[in-house]
Amino acid sequence: MITSLAGGRVLAEKTGATPPRVVALHGWGRDGTDFQTIVSGLDAVSLHLPGFGPAPAPDEVWGTEQYAELVAEAVAAYSPVVIVGHSFGGRIAVRLAARRPELVRGLVLTGAPLVRLSAPAAPPLSYRLARWANSAGLLSDDRMDALRNQRGSADYRAAQGVMRGVLVKTVGENYDDDLAALSCPVRMVWGEGDTAAPTDAGRVAAERCGASFRVVAGTEHLLTGDLELAVREELLTFLDELDRTE
């Protein structure tokens, strides 16, 4: 069932009763329906982040800071909550928990690209020359866009308008300070074959914030199969532990 939060500014899939104990934030190109199995039977809301599913895109290019501010507005009345974040949603969850710790009881993260183990490779000379030619008016914008599409990821090619700018901005963000600032308990569950957020990088992120780290064999990045079930199991165990210790 779709509900609205933050005075109608946020759309979400609702399960169970109000207030929600769990808030779920989906990955790039996904929407709140990804969490149907994970939050089944719980009092939860699974947000449709702006620009995905039925939620309109923001009016300007946002980074995860702006997304976190909107999520904060959406959950403030129910806080503190446990946040489940997948991929892009995990980035937002870390921003929120680091900067508004009073809103977050704990985090369960999966497939969130939070740490770079090596610097990105510099673009080839031919591409750098093309960018210079475009900035000098010697190469058309259409031709430059075609070159960007050739080099870009599938997510980049699929993104349109302001959402392409959001993707570029968030991919370039750094989360080192936010990971160090986390004060809530954190659980991480990773797909063994995740290439979007490699397991080695996830393990480093876990070490930086003192999180537990669980690898699910035979799974990748998307919330399907054994990874989906493992995230649900981790969430249920986490909620039970929080209830017993608080």
What are 24-55's pLDDT values in tens digits? 999 999 999 999 999 999 999 999 999 999 99
Tokens coding 134: 């475009």
The per-residue b/e assignment along 127-142, b for 16 or more CB within 10 angstroms, e otherwise, is: eeebeeebeeeebeee
Mean pLDDT of 221-227: 96
Global model pTM greater than 0.95: no
Mean pLDDT of 89-115: 97
Region of residue 33 (left: phi > 0; alpha: psi -120 to 50; beta: else): alpha
Query: Which three-class secondary structure state does DSSP give residue 60?
Result: coil
Q: For residue 68, what pLDDT is reported?
A: 97
More confident residue, 119 or 197: 197
Mean pLDDT of 49-73: 95
Q: For residue 46, what pLDDT is reported?
A: 97
Q: For residue 134, what pLDDT is reported?
A: 77
- The answer to whether 103 and 80 are in contact (CB under 8 A) is yes
Q: For residue 155, what pLDDT is reported?
A: 74
Query: Which three-class secondary structure state does DSSP give residue 28?
Result: coil
Tokens coding 24: 């779920």
More confident residue, 166 or 120: 166
pLDDT value at 234 more than 70: yes
Query: Which three-class secondary structure state does DSSP give residue 154?
Result: helix
- Report the relative pairing of strands 10-15 and 44-48 from DSSP bridges: antiparallel
Tokens coding 71: 């999520």
pLDDT in tens, 113-137: 999 876 666 677 766 776 776 777 7
What are the residues whose beta carbons fall under 8 Å from the beta carbon of 226, sequence distance 6 or more?
A: 216, 217, 218, 219
pLDDT value at 147 more than 90: no
Chain CA centroid to CA 72, Å = 15
